[in-house]
Structure 1
Amino acid sequence: MEDDEILFNEIMTRYGQDILQLVFSYVRNKQLAEDLTQDIFVKCYKALHTYKQNAKLKTWLFKIASNHCKDYLRSWYFRKVIATEKMAEMTVSSGQNVEQAVLEHEEEQTIANAVLKLPMKYREVIYLFYFEDMSLKEIESVLDVNQNTVKSRLKRAKSLLKEELEDLDGGK
């Protein structure tokens, strides 16, 4: 039991920020990402005894986090309550978003915003491949999809990102 606690503390220290960033890439809300990350680490702690050494620890953690986020996004609460809140927020602050977008000229922010606009199945492969430096095989394991599917999603995501970034450049 004490060994589990030591391992768990090491996991939180080593992967906490990575998991938080992955979760944010799904939910696009800092506070919600922090709450879900806490839930994920509780889930990881409870499942620590099921971890098998044949998979990388990071891959195991990302799979738990990815599945937890997908479950949350499919939940009634997210589909009904959060969607309604977002619509209300957009009507109140739509002018602020335009003003903020004009003020944010940094290339990294522009790319991050473009990635966050992608549909989830493309956003997750871009995030895992480029931001987490995961191999196609690791992504296949995290997402439970065939490696060829990962490749095609990655190709499509790059194409969508290119279109989005070209539209942004053309709009200046």
Structure 2
Amino acid sequence: MNELEHKAVSKVFATDKEQLIHELMNENGDAVLHLVFTYVKNQTIAEDLTQEIFIKCYEKLDQFKHQSSIKTWLYRIASNHCKDYLRSWHYRKLILNEKLLDYIPSKAKDVEVEVISKSEEESLTNAVMGLPVKYREVVVLHYYEELPLAEISKITSVNVNTIKTRLKRAKEILKEHLIEEV
């Protein structure tokens, strides 16, 4: 293949990649954002990480092996990216700063907490968001994203029986939490 043919093939592949990633973003952008938010609990950070995830998908699209659905592949990248972020120094520094700010009294913060605690749906959401990551991710993927256990297993690289155990334990924790609130 001469240089001109190689450039033409590269251009077609790049256009196809761009079209595919655009379709992925349109079809799965909100779901990925929601998944990312369940890890980081911050809308702005979730939006930034979601953009990074789609950039990473674009860059790694040629590595997709078609052994699972593209949605499963995308969720796995998102899950791993979030876990990497949660281990990062940037995240730890951010959490430390937030804990320091918690010691500063704020009337607006008290009002906000009262409003949030009055809604049952928001109470459940808060309880889910308070779960440890390993429980939160399976709850969100199974109940909110309505993914089957086998697909969650592929996304998280965790055995299906472990997924079942984590779902059971998450439900127990949520039940305890919600009973304490009443």
TM-score (ref. length: structure 2): 0.87
What is the CA deviation profile of residues 55-111 of structure 1, one whole-angstrom value per residue up to 9, with x for unaligned ones?
1111110100000000111112222x1122111232235654443232232221111
RMSD: 1.4
Match of 1:155 in 2: 168
Match of 2:60 in 1: 47
Q: Secondary structure at the match of 1:59?
A: helix
- Offset, 1:142: 0.6
Identity %: 46
* Amino acid across the alignment from 1:100: E
Structure 1 residue runs without a partner (length 5+): none
Match of 1:166 in 2: 179
Q: Equivalents in 1 of 2:29, 2:160: separation in Å?
A: 27
**What is the aligned counterpart of 1:84 among 85, 93, 96?**
96
Please list, as runs of the form range in 1=range in 2, the aligned pairs for 1:28-107 lying within 5 A after superposition.
28-79=41-92, 81-92=93-104, 96-104=108-116, 105-107=118-120
Please say which structure displays the higher CA radius of gyration.
2
CA gap of 1:9–1:111, structure 2 versus 1, over 3 A, is: same
Please list, as runs of the form range in 1=range in 2, the aligned pairs for 1:120-135 lying within 5 A after superposition.
120-135=133-148
Match of 2:27 in 1: 14
What is the CA deviation profile of residues 32-75 of structure 1, one whole-angstrom value per residue up to 9, with x for unaligned ones?
11111111111000011111223111111010000000011111
Q: Equivalents in 1 of 2:83, 2:177: separation in Å?
A: 25
Equivalenced residues, count:
168
Q: Equivalents in 1 of 2:63, 2:35: separation in Å?
A: 22
Structure 2 residue runs without a partner (length 5+): 1-13
TM-score (ref. length: structure 1): 0.92
